Structure 1
Amino acid sequence: MAFTLPALPYAFDALEPFVDATTMQIHHGKHHQAYVTNLNNALDKFPELKDLGIVDINKKVGTDAIPKDIATVVRNNGGGHWNHSFFWKIMTAPTNSNGPSDELKAAVDASFGSMDVMKEKFNAAAAGRFGSGWAWLGVKADGSLGITSTPNQDNPLQGVADEALLPVLGLDVWEHAYYLKYQNRRPEYIAAFWNIVNWEQVSENFTAAKAGSPPAL
């Protein structure tokens, strides 16, 4: 079964003034669509892989389950499809979130000391990722929260990741995610991101991750 571009859960201008409508239109309709198209084209060569869901495809990146001649394409575009499908859902209009759940707040405090410290560490991971990539907050194997970053369209579900996590929050720091509005001011974009985090969705992701499941897309 072919993968398809998911609809955004809000209007293109819903994240204004922190993320502009033009960026959202291009990011969703051009960049994300390209990942979907390229992934489908690669899997056309190996129809037996088409029934795998996008989570399983990402988990098999870096293993022999993905044939070598499409391994790089699947890593980049399967990662890009999962990452963006996840990313759209963890953002919302600036006034549409009441903050993290008590359970998530407690986990953040236990792992980092406070929400402010967590944000500082997350911001540092996002700002410090050289070139294109992502920053992630997720649940580690021991149940605690951790922060990591990945290059390009890699994510912590993949076997190639430096640190395995079940993601609960992620930020795209590719230039196409912010350059029209912020130009080279990546730290300003990262700071603005916290104004549009959908904490209800992040809290749901945390509950699922604590139970050992990746977030539903």
Structure 2
Amino acid sequence: MKHELPPLPYGYNALEPHYDEATVRLHHDAHHKAYVDGLNNAGARLAEARDKGDFALVKHWEREIAFHGSGHLLHTLFWQNMVPGGGGQATGAVAEQLNKDFGSFDNFKKQFSAAAVAVEGSGWAVLCWNPSFHSLVILTAEKHQNLTQWGVVPLLTVDVWEHAYYLKYQNKRAAWVEAWWNLVNWDDVNKRFEAAG
């Protein structure tokens, strides 16, 4: 299956002033596209190895698929998790679950922000539904292909790799995370939460 770069669900400048057009364009058209291209290349190379019965590099190509595939999936979620004029308090069923699992929306927001800012190097903060625990959990990933609790369903993510914010926010990751809260698409998060349950 050939993977394709999904179009943005809004214009490049639609998330201004919180997320600038130049960064969105570069982040989507170059960085996200590189993950899609890498995923397609690794998949094709692994298929070639299978056809030849040569699995000497199987570990390498499987790691490449994990790296690029995780980057592609998380970036796709990231773009869909934002909307012009978004943000504010969580709504709907996810708001109720956040109150149940974190005590309040404010507690959740503080913990999620702290997790995003504290990721060492580059990475992600991700709100997930864990059906085994029947609760929402916050996970962080320094290497997105290594992060998991088996069976969780990602609902909301913020990208804190420097390419996600450096043109506007430079090395001020906390300022980027604070601005990002103004873009959160709670309707999208609720749809994902409903589908996960």
More helix by share: 2
Match of 2:189 among 202, 206, 217: 202
Separation in 2 of the partners of 1:79 and 1:3? Answer: 13
> 1:99·1:200 contact (CA, 8 Å) conserved in 2?
no
Give 1:166 deviation, angstroms.
1.1
Correspondence 1:185 to 2:172: yes
Separation in 2 of the partners of 1:98 and 1:176? Answer: 25
Correspondence 1:31 to 2:31: yes
Question: Aligned pairs, how many?
Answer: 188
Which residue identity lines up with residue 102 of structure 2 in the other structure?
F
Give 1:16 deviation, angstroms.
0.4
Which residue identity lines up with residue 120 of structure 1 in the other structure?
K
Q: Please, which runs of 5 or more residues in structure 2 have no aligned partner?
A: 49-56
> 2:98·2:108 contact (CA, 8 Å) conserved in 1?
yes
> After TM superposition, where is structure 1 displaced by more than 2 Å over at least 4 residues in a row?
96-102, 160-165
* Structure 2 partner of 1:121: 111
> 1:97·1:200 contact (CA, 8 Å) conserved in 2?
no
Which residue identity lines up with residue 160 of structure 2 in the other structure?
V
In terms of Rg, which structure is larger? 2
TM-score relative to the length of structure 1: 0.81
Give 1:125 deviation, angstroms.
0.7
Match of 2:97 among 82, 96, 107: 107
The worse-fitting range, judged by mean Cα deviation, of 16-25 and 139-148 is 139-148
* Structure 2 partner of 1:57: none
Which residue identity lines up with residue 108 of structure 1 in the other structure?
L
Give 1:101 deviation, angstroms.
3.3
Separation in 1 of the partners of 2:143 and 2:122? Answer: 5
Give 1:98 deviation, angstroms.
7.6
* Structure 2 partner of 1:15: 15
* Structure 2 partner of 1:87: 78
TM-score relative to the length of structure 2: 0.89
Give 1:99 deviation, angstroms.
5.2
Which residue identity lines up with residue 2 of structure 1 in the other structure?
K
Pairing of 1:26-105 with structure 2 (within 5 A): 26-47=26-47, 67-94=58-85, 96=86, 100-105=90-95
> 2:46·2:61 contact (CA, 8 Å) conserved in 1?
no
Please tell me the root mean square deviation across aligned C-alpha atoms, in Å.
1.9
Separation in 2 of the partners of 1:183 and 1:114? Answer: 31
